[in-house]
Amino acid sequence: MPAEQLSMFIQPPAVLLMGDSGSGKTSALTTFLEAGIETFVLCTEPGGPESLVDWASRRKYPLEKLHWATALPATQGWQGLSDLINEISTKDFETISKNKSGIGKGETRPAAFKMLQNIQNFTCERTGQQYGDVTTWDDSRAFCLDSLSGLSVLAWALTVGHKPTAHMGEWNIAMNFISDFIMKLTTDRKCYFVLTAHVEKEMNELTGVNQIMVSTLGKKLAPKIPRFFSEVIYARRSPQFLWSNNDPSIALKNRGLPISDKLAPSFVPLVQAYRERKKTLLPLPQPESTKPAA
């Protein structure tokens, strides 16, 4: 079987890169460029493109191979804020929580559809060029979703709008949306995939120990997210930027990277490990006696 067909059976790494604000998560995405990987970043928080451009320029990476789009969660319009003031000032908690239509939910749809459209047909905001469905890209490209925090805000707003409280069913709807969204990206892709995430301490219900986990909706979703990824990395700054996949207080995972708490903040070693893994799938040379006659 040709190597091109064999490579279809092995996905490039899917990476969950988590850390506090300022730990270098967004800037590290540009290191794919150093490995020759065309890099596409969908930013769900303000300031993402600036960080990408500044870091790529500082390192003299090829900007023509760096593409970004934004899908920021919808802020409340003035009418939404007015409705929210009226709800809070005239109704009690129980009445507000029973508002099944949400508040200003219509304002949240454009942001959600923009995010989805940029996955179905990524449009670079730097050039205006369209690149098609990210799940059809090969391993010459990386798709990065920056970050889970923005996705979580978007999912929550899509579910309840700007309602200040929610019942359990609404929490489950938003959490299931996030889980399904991540599963779609990690399962169907053929390119590299990175999801960045902020962190917070949560109780691990299995061990009863507080652990650092990704920051997202609810307590039950965060422990499930790492299972979608081949590499789970913790980014920190102390004082230089470092990565770790070896910390007992965090649920981390490694396949291509060596186990260490002082890894360089770069995707280059992961790209190299993947390329070496692909080489092992190349057909073995046939002995002379088994080669077909000319």
Q: What is the pLDDT of residues 93-137, one digit of tens each?
A: 666 666 666 666 667 778 889 999 999 999 999 999 999 999 999
Kindly state the tokens that stand for 279: 């080489």
Residue 17 lies in a domain: yes
Looking at residue 138, which CATH number applies to its domain? 3.40.50
Which residue shows structure tokens 């799938």?
A: 281
Residue 4 clears pLDDT 60, i.e. is over it:
no
Sequence-ordered list of residues with C-beta below 8 angstroms from that of 262, at least 6 positions apart, any chain: 242, 244
| Region for residue 16 given its phi and psi (left: phi exceeds 0; alpha: psi -120 to 50; beta: otherwise) | beta
Of 15 and 75, the one with more pLDDT: 15
- pLDDT one-digit tens code per residue, 263-286: 999 999 999 999 999 988 776 566
Average pLDDT over residues 166-189: 92
Most distant pair of Cα atoms in the chain: their distance: 89
Average pLDDT over residues 10-35: 96
Q: What is the pLDDT of residue 203?
A: 75
Average pLDDT over residues 226-240: 95
Residue 94 lies in a domain: yes
Q: What is the pLDDT of residue 292?
A: 57
Q: Structural domain of residue 226, as residue ranges?
A: 3-288
Q: What is the pLDDT of residue 165?
A: 72
Average pLDDT over residues 18-24: 95
Residue 294 lies in a domain: no
**Within 10 Å of residue 85's Cβ, how many Cβ atoms?**
10
This prediction's pTM: 0.87
Q: What percent of the chain has pLDDT over 70?
A: 82
Q: What is the three-class DSSP state of 136?
A: helix
Residue 3 clears pLDDT 70, i.e. is over it:
no
pLDDT tier at 209 (50, 70, 90 boundaries)? confident
Residue 293 lies in a domain: no
Q: What is the pLDDT of residue 78?
A: 67
Helix axes 109-120, 148-160, angle to 10 degrees: 130
Looking at the structure of the chain, the number of domains it has is 1
Residue 51 clears pLDDT 80, i.e. is over it:
yes
